[in-house]
Chains A and B, each alone.
Chain A
Amino acid sequence: MITLTVALPLLAAFLLPLAGPLRYALGPAVPLAMAWLALQAWAPAQAEPFVIAIGGFRPPLGIAFYVDTIAVLLNLAVAACVLLLWPWGTGADAARKQSLTLLLAGASAGLALSGDLFNVYVFYELVAVASYGLAAGRGTGAGYAAAFRYLVVSSLGSLLALIGITLIYFRAGTLNLAHLAELAPAALHDPLGLSAFLLLLVGLGVKAEMFPVNAWVPEVYAAAESRVSALLAGLVSKLAVLVLVRLLVLVFPLDEARLALLVLGTLGIVTGELAAWRARDLTRMLAFSSIGQLGIVLVAFAIPGEAGLAAGLAVAVHHLIAKPALFLLAERWGGSIEALAGAGLRSKLGGALFVLFALSLVGVPPLPGFWAKFLTLSGLAAQSGAAWWLAAAAILLTTVVEASYLFRVVGRLYAPDDEGRAAAQGRLQLAGAGVLGACLIAAAAGAVPLGEALKHMAAQAGDRPAYIERVLRPHPEVAQ
């Protein structure tokens, strides 16, 4: 059933232009169906992850989907994000965007589920193509320029990733992740294998907003619609990270790989947050802050063991909720930050939501952002070595910078508006941000059960032997 979350949106993406007036209903119905399907798979996946062999061909020969809680969670996130950020509209332009969004949704779902590198690459490219189209969607010159820049970097990144995959195939003779996990200690834990991982890291890092291959981020986010920025920053970046994490956990559980992730993540935190401090408009500020947050995600996943997985997941999911909401709020609050005077007084809910998300991003307890940061920092502190502690110090120091620039915006939002220029929030944007805000508050209230669920999820994702068992030597009753 869960395979439908991939097939359905892909199919719908191509049918939508032909569906005539039906498409107004069909479009939003697809993510709804995806959400329903993902919810169906939640309980079984939580109890015991399962493998779906497409077409009945057994892994490692056939194509396999590996359905664990993280995959289902991301599927759910894909559906929710696409629904919240749906490009409503009736024109031909909107139809094109809707198709592209559905394409993105299907490919993202596939990326989350894929159990082998070949499929990962295919879906990753699909995501990339859809995102190029969306990034250029506003149709302005700056938009095209930024999207082109993004296209060049991203395709080059894909190329590097492909070289990495080729190297892996050359050494191991397989691309199935479970099979690779089994063969990796003998075949891939050498300089060539590490080079393959680093090439994949740099290549996929483009979409994961990893330093230093993220120079496209501020321009694209500033030029694209904030809906698209929200999708790219919130969702697509997390999918790229997920692939990296799967590789790190299953195939390359090496200290060198972790170190690379840690160093690049730390540099991302420092550069992103500091650059955001100087940003003069809200979208760019959010873009830079997103780079910093993704840096924290990478640093958290670099921590060995389940502690790292739990921390990384917490930061990633928190960012997945917070950043789209902030981008939604920024839709009407574009332009110079100075011009935002009084916007929070004009739109009370918008201002309150901005403060809420700012507090959570900064990590003020009892909001979820605090627990995410706390898990990351505890994980870093528990390691021994200067690099880990430096990363912890970087997170702590840049949080001060982050609070300072976010609250500078808050200060503007509540400044008296002498000229009455402040824009009111759009109803759609406000509703979307409101839903995400409600999620955030619910998560703060339900921190106890969420913590348990997170722990379970991390344990599942970090269990390498079980992954190999389930894919390669399934018990008959488990294989579906």
Chain B
Amino acid sequence: MSGLDQLLLASAGTLLVAFLLGAWRPASWLFTALYAAQLALLLRMPEAASATPAFVVFGQTIGWTLDAYGRFFAVITVGAALAASWFASGEWGARYEAAENSLRALHSAMAANVLAMLMLLASRDLVTLFIGWELVSWASFLMMALGGQRAMRAALRYVPYAMGGAMAVLGAMVFAHAWTGTLDLGLLAQRLAHLEPARLWVLAALLIGGFGVKMGLLPFHLWQAGAYAEAPGPGTAFLGAISSRMGLFAIALVLVRLITLEGLPALTIVPGLFGLREALAWIAALTIVLPTFTALKQNDARYLLAWHGIGQGGYMLLGIVVGDAWGSAGGLMHVFNHATYQAALFLSVYAVVHRTGTADLNQLGGLIVRMPLSFLTMLVGIIGLAGLPPMNGFVSKWLVYRSLMTNGMPLLFLASVIGTLGTILSVYKLLHNTFLGQLRSEHVSIREAPWSMTLPMLALCVIVFATGTAPGLVLGWVAQAQAALGLPVINYTLGGVESSRGGLDMLWVVGVLFGGFGIGALLFYGAGRSKRLHQLDNYAGGHFLSADVRYQYSDNFYAGLMHRIGPLYRGAFAWAESALSSAVSLAATAMQGVYRQQVPALFLLATAVLALFWVVTR
């Protein structure tokens, strides 16, 4: 039994256990243990492991091999499920069940997602990939639909997007088969090199567009924020951490393994100037900027984070599209980094929701003294999300920026910096409106979330910090993944990367940073002029303030900024979506008219006459 057999079996077993025992609350801890076991299996798996079962169905071979590239994503997937199920295992699950929700459905959906993703990540031909892809799509639909009426609406909005993407992929698949005679990824790569450019363009556009739907690539991003944000808490964290990265996985596979970096420049729009690569880079840049600034406007913490999830996907794609060792390493590493801090952020938001009952950023504030661990988690998370040292988000973004500059793409660099600016603004809003400022009188007596929830959050914080300080821990996996995929491989050290033209050593950066903090702390405490005050012992403009005076204005947070950039939000994508939906509706009405004929017999005769007329005139 190969390592992959064991892993898939363990994953399927988890699904079975979830279905059988999911409703039994004491078994909740079991799932965390089962995901931990899967993670252990995954970590001790050799470079590339194949599953024993392989089928030939209708002439197509279906089989699974997990290489280092797939394993990199698999580790993140199982890790995210581990953290999310841990979070759900204690008081959160009890509360969830008490509200007449089905824990069994939640655990089953999570296990089904993990299994489907593992099958997707281990596929070695397009049919298997498509099977995995569809399973992932519908497993995530299941997860999205669990959160009640609003969630169901969001999930139903996802269905046409997901199906549209899937059908684009299916179309590409059947045409690739017709034109090359194979669907095996290795053979396909060889034969695609000899395909005429017009056909290769069709395949590339269908595949990248289809897979792009899942990662929320512009213009197919509208479904994602609502669908992820409305899922049940741990589900949101899991989906937000990894689900949409399946799209990135597949796009990188298409770009690097099928079209290959050598073949990519052949796909041109304006020869010598602009081609698929440039187009994708700009789509990625737009995917960074627009959703990030949409996030800035959100007043629901879950939606704010979910919109950032879309935007951060742009950095990952941008790094991979640049295609050099540093850029692609940054893109891939950002998948890991984003999963860790995004899960931490969602979990801290749901810890707040667990205690206060709301994620509305206008209904919170001042919780820092009540929920210090949740605050710490969110602080670490937003530093990671904003891409600032010493957290891991900085390293991956630095690599992407750096390779954009060295490859002579300053405009794209500028776009991604604008995106980062928007990120910093909006995560500050998130932190401030939740934890800083005035504590609301109705929240005076709440407590920190229970340990079953704070422990996974803190564990994620530790990872975010540790892999920020010693990025070599992750870059090892990244380098293996690059090699397996066929990208140039990064030369890394424990602290980062070394280069004659200026490397990065996070150990030094973090050392200097904490040295600075130390000096600040010495000055602060050493001067002996600080005094500890109650949170409400405060004054403004010479007036003492008490809890019943509202002095925190969270509503319309960036009023000045919005005054400037507000008119730029046009809602063009939402408009296009509803226009398309109206067009389909109109066409559907017309088609119903076709079937509402008063005299079908006449229609029949007319058809016969027309048919005969066609024969005569042919």
Which A residues form the contact surface with B (CB < 8 A)?
Answer: 149, 152-153, 156-157, 160, 191, 194-195, 198-199, 201-202, 206, 212-218, 256, 260, 270-272, 274-275, 277-279, 288, 359, 362-366, 370-371, 373-375, 377-378, 380-382, 392-393, 396-397, 399-401, 403-404, 407-408, 411, 414-416, 447-448, 451, 454
Contacts and interface: CB of A to CB of B under 8 A. Distances in A.
B156 A199 contact: no
B85 to A, nearest CB: 23
A152 B607 contact: no
B579 interface: no
B527 interface: no
B585 A277 contact: yes
Given A206-B604, A215-B597, A400 B588 contact: no
B607 A392 contact: no
A376 B327 CA distance: 41
B595 interface: yes
A198 B612 contact: yes
Contacts of B588: 274-275, 277-278, 401
Contact of A274 (B138, B591, B611, B614): B591
Interface stretch (B55-63, B312-320, B346-354, B448-456): B55-63
A392 B135 contact: no
Contacts of A256: 615, 618
B43 interface: no
A411 B611 contact: no
Contacts of B175: 381
B163 A199 contact: no
Contacts of B127: 374
Interface string B563-603: 00000000000000000000011011111101111001101
Given A377-B171, A414-B145, A278 B56 contact: no
Contacts, number: 161
Contact of A399 (B56, B163, B589, B594): B163
Contacts of B590: 274
A407 B157 CA distance: 10
Contact of B149 (A274, A370, A416): A416
Contacts of B601: 152-153, 156
Contacts of A217: 595
Interface string B145-166: 1000100110110011011100
Contacts of B585: 277-278
Contacts of A415: 149, 152
Nearest to A263: B614
A288 B589 CA distance: 13
Contacts of B594: 212, 215, 271, 275
B438 to A, nearest CB: 37
Contacts of B171: 377, 392-393, 396
B595 A288 contact: yes
Contacts of B618: 191, 256
Contacts of B607: 202, 212-213
Given A215-B595, A271-B595, A415-B152, A199 B611 contact: yes
A199 B608 contact: yes
Given A270-B591, A271-B595, A377-B170, A198 B608 contact: yes
A414 B155 CA distance: 12
Given A212-B594, A218-B595, A201 B55 contact: no
Contacts of A364: 134-135, 138
Contacts of B167: 396-397, 399-400
Interface centre among B160, B591, B604 (most CB of A within 10 A): B604
Contacts of B57: 371, 447-448, 451
Contacts of A404: 156, 159-160, 163
Given A217-B595, A278-B588, A451-B58, A403 B163 contact: yes
A177 B464 CA distance: 75
B600 A407 contact: no
Contact of A195 (B55, B159, B612): B612
13 contacts: A156-B605, A160-B604, A194-B615, A195-B615, A206-B604, A271-B595, A272-B591, A277-B585, A374-B170, A378-B174, A397-B167, A415-B152, A447-B58
A271 B594 CA distance: 8
A373 B170 CA distance: 10
A366 B131 contact: yes
B604 A156 contact: yes
A359 B587 contact: no
B130 interface: yes
Nearest to B612: A195
Contacts of B58: 371, 374-375, 447, 451, 454
Nearest to B59: A451
Given A365-B131, A381-B177, A400-B167, A202 B608 contact: yes
The 4 closest A-B pairs by CB, nearest first: A381-B178, A215-B600, A278-B588, A198-B611
B59 to A, nearest CB: 8
Main secondary structure of the interface of A (DSSP, over half): helix
Interface string B273-314: 000000000000000000000000000000000000000000
Question: Which applies to chain B's interface (DSSP): helix, strand, loop or mixed?
Answer: helix
A454 B618 CA distance: 36
B489 to A, nearest CB: 34
B549 interface: no
B616 interface: yes
A195 B617 CA distance: 12
Contacts of A407: 156, 159
Nearest to A150: B600
A215 B598 CA distance: 9
A370 B588 CA distance: 25
Contact of B611 (A201, A275, A374, A378): A201
Nearest to B152: A411
A288 B591 CA distance: 10
Nearest to A314: B58
A202 B152 contact: no
A408 B156 contact: yes
A1 B472 CA distance: 76
Nearest to A364: B134
Contacts of A408: 156
A246 B14 CA distance: 50
Interface in B357-410: none
A451 B592 CA distance: 37
Contacts of B160: 400-401, 403-404
B149 A278 contact: no
A330 to B, nearest CB: 18
A392 B608 contact: no
A260 B612 CA distance: 11
B93 to A, nearest CB: 21
B604 A365 contact: no
Contacts of A411: 145, 152-153, 155-156
Nearest to B609: A202
B578 to A, nearest CB: 14
Given A277-B585, A414-B152, A448-B55, A377 B608 contact: no
Nearest to B169: A396
Given A274-B588, A403-B159, A160 B149 contact: no
A414 to B, nearest CB: 7
Given A213-B604, A408-B156, 8 more contacts: A160-B604, A191-B615, A191-B616, A194-B615, A199-B608, A212-B603, A362-B163, A396-B167
A301 to B, nearest CB: 17
A160 B618 CA distance: 21
Contacts of A399: 163, 167
Contact of B174 (A199, A377, A414, A416): A377
Interface in B124-151: 127, 130-131, 134-135, 138, 145, 149
A377 B164 CA distance: 15
A239 B440 CA distance: 72
B603 A278 contact: no
B280 to A, nearest CB: 23
B55 A447 contact: yes
A381 to B, nearest CB: 4
